[in-house]
Structure 1
Amino acid sequence: MFDIQEIRSQFSILDQQVNSKQLVYLDNAATSQKPNSVLEVCHKYYTELNANVHRGIHTLSQLATEEMEISRRKIQQFINAKYDFEVIFTKGTTEGLNLIAYILTQKLKKDDEIIISYLEHHSNIVPWQLLCERTGAKLRVIPIDENGVLQLDYLDSFLNEKTKIVSVNQVSNALGIINPIEEIIAKTRKNTNAYIVIDGAQSAPHFTIDVQKLDCDFFVFSGHKMYAPMGTGILYGKQEILEDLPPFHGGGEMISTCSFDGTTYAGLPFKYEAGTPNVGGNIALGAAVDFICKVGQENIQIHENNLLEYAQKELLEIENIKIYGKKTKRTGVVSFNLEGVGISSDVGMILDKLGIAVRTGHHCTQPIMDYFNIAGTVRASFAVYNTLGEIDLLVEGVKKAQRMLS
C-alpha cells in the first residue's frame, strides 16, 4: 500500500513552518529532503563507526569498510550493474562527468567530435568544452524544437567516424523532459564506436535504471537528489573501459605500489577513488536506495506522474501562463512563466513568503533559456512525499503572485 501520510512522517523537515506558513517543498530537482532512516545512518556512522576505510586492521575501520562496500553492492543492484567494482563513489554528477571527460582525453585528437544536446545541464556542457580545448576536438549539439523535443534527425547527420563521445541526459533538469536515450544509444552503436555517457541525475530518483539493458558505457547520478546526503554520487562504467583508461586523481587508496621510480594503480573501483571518501555519506546512499526500494520504484513513478499531471492541469487554468515542454513526456518537473508580470524570481519570492519553495532562474541550463528567449522559469519539482494538496497551494500562490505583479 502506498501511504502518503506514512511516507511524509519519515521526513521531519516537512513539519516545520517557513515565514509562518507550513513548508511546501517543491525544489526536489535541486535537492531532495532526507528520510529519518537515512539521517539515522549518518548519525550512527559518526557516533559508532567513525574510521577511515580499507586502510586499517582495527575493528572500527573494518566495520566502516564493510558498511560502505555493502552500500556499493546495493547501488550495483539498484542500477543493475554487472559487477560491484563498476560502481565508483563520487561527490555527485558534476564530478562524475568531469572525471569521464578527463580520463577520455587520451582517446581524442584534433577534429574528433563530441555530441551533446541543447537540453544539457552546464555540467554536461562545460567538461566537454574543456576536453575540446585540450584536444582540438569539436562539439556538436543536437537541437530542440519549440516543445523542447530533441531533433534526432540531426543526430543521424552528426554521427560519423569522427564521433568519439555522445553524452546526453536521460531527463532534463530544467523542463523534466524524458529523452529517448534508448534510441540515441541504438543509433550511436549502429554508426560509431563512440563512448556513450548518460547523465542520470534527474532520472535515478524517479524510475528504474538498468545500465546493462541500456548498454551505455558510463552512467552518472547524484545521491542528494534521491534522498541521500549532499556530496555523494555514483559513476558507473563498464569494466573493460575503466580498466583501459587512466586514473583521475592521484594519492592514497588508488595505488597498488608507489615508489619514486614509478607507481602502479589499484584495481577497480579503487583506481578512481583516491583520498578519504565520504564514508558516512556513501553508507547513507545505500540507505536511500533501501528507502526507495521499500516504497517501490513503480509506486514512486505512479505517484509523481499523478502530481505532474494534476499540477499541469491546474496551472493551465491560470490565464497567461506558459508551461515549457507541456506536450512532451516528462517526469518530476513543471517549468513555467507568467507572461507579462515580471520575472521568475519575483514569482519565486512571493511563493516563498507563502512557505512554498520552488526554484527560479536558468537552472544551469542557459542554452535552453536562450532558445526560448527568456531569462529563466519558475520550476516546481516533485518527490515521493509531495501531495495534491500542496499542488493546490502552489496554484493559489501563483494566482496571488499574478495579482500582485500585474
Structure 2
Amino acid sequence: MTAQSSAAGPVVLLLAARNVTAARTGRIAVLETAVRGLRRTGARVVTVAITAEPGPGEWLGCPVVRLRPPSLIRMGVAACASIVLRRTLNEALFDSARLRTRITEVAREHGAMTVVADGIRTWEAARSTGLPVIAHLDDLLSERYASTEFADGNNSLFGYFRSHIPSGLVRPLEAVVKRLLWLEARRARRRELAIAREAVVTALTGEAEARRLEASSGSRVMALPMAVEPREPGDPGNADPASAAFLGVLHYGPNIAALRFVRDELLPALRQRGIDLKVTVIGQGGPEQREEFLRSGLSFTGYVDDLSEALRGHRMFISPILSGTGVKTKVLDSLSVGLPVVATPLGIAGIPVEDGRSALVADSAEELADHVAALHADPELARTIGAAGRNVLIEHLSPATVDEGWHDALSEAMKAGQR
C-alpha cells in the first residue's frame, strides 16, 4: 500500500470505454453509481476515459485521464487478432499494446490498488495491470446479440462509436457486423464465462442475469445496478391525459426499434380507442433518426438539462422495449419523479415493480394501449401507480441500497490484493 493510499483510502482505477463527461446515458449512470458508491466507502477514484473527445479533467470530484482509443487501422488489426484468439469484435475497439501499457502506467502513477473494468471491452486492459479486477459487464452481450429482435430492429449497431467511423464506411461495416452477430454472441458467451471465473468480482446490472451467469460459470456474480436518487415527485394526475414521455439516446438500436413499435402499432391502436397520444422523446439523436419519425405523432426535445422537470410534465412514461438486456435507467428516472410506467416485460427487466400496482406491463400493442387508456381516463390511477413505483425505487434502487454492494465488491478486491 502506498503512503497516498493509506492516508486517503485505497485508490481505485475506473477504466471506462467512453467519454464519461458526455451527455448522461444508462451506462454512464452505472459508472456514476460506481464512483459514488466507491467514494462513500472511503476509496479515491481515478477514471481513465478511453475517448478521442475532449472534456474536463474532473468528473464527480475525481480526476479524469483521457486516453485515445486505437486508430481504425489498429482496430482492424485487433479485429483480425480477436478472430484468431476467439475473442469478441467488441474487444478490438479498445485493444492495443500501446493502450494497455499506458493504462498500466496510469495505475502505477496514482498508486491504484484495484481496477474496475467497464464491460468486456476493457477487460484485457484491466487485466494487464496485474491488479485485482472488478469486472462490471453491465448486461450479457451474448444474450443481447443472440436476440432476433436486436438484429432485425437495429440500424445503429455501432452506437455512439458510429461518429468515429468515416461516413462512407458506416453502412457497409454495419451490414458485415449484423451478419456476424451470431458469432459475436457465441464468443461473448465464452468470454463472459472466462471473465466470471477469473475476475476477483464480476457484476451485472440485473439480478436475473447475474444469477444466470453465476449458475453457468460456477462463480459468484453480483448484481450492481445503477442507483437513482428519488426526486421531487410531480402530479401526473394534473398533466395532460394524452401526454407521454419516452427517454433514450437515438444512436442505440433498441430505442429506435421501440419508437417504431410506438409509431406503427401502439399509436394506431390508441387512435382506434379515440386517443391521440402525444409522445415526447427526450434524448440525443441525429437528424437521420429524427427524420424517420416526421409526421408520426412523436416530438423530439433532444438532450435536456433538467430531466426531472421534463418528465414531471406528463401523465405517463412508456418503455416498450422489445430487445436488449440490463436494467433500463430511463425507467428508474421516471420512477424517481412518481411518473407511472407503461412497459413491456423487457422494459422493466431487473426492476422489482409489480404489474397493476407499481407499473403497468404488457406484451402486445393492444394490451399496452389498454393500459395507456386506463391512465388517460383516470388521474387517480396515474397518481397511485406513480407513487407506488417511486416507493419501489426508494426501497430497492436508491444509492443507500446499491452502495452496500460496491462496498462488498471493493472489500473482496482488496482482500485479493493482499493475498
Which TM-score bucket, shorter chain as reference? under 0.3
The two structures have a TM-score, normalised by structure 1, of: 0.23
Provide the TM-score with structure 2 as the length reference.
0.22
Higher helix proportion: 2
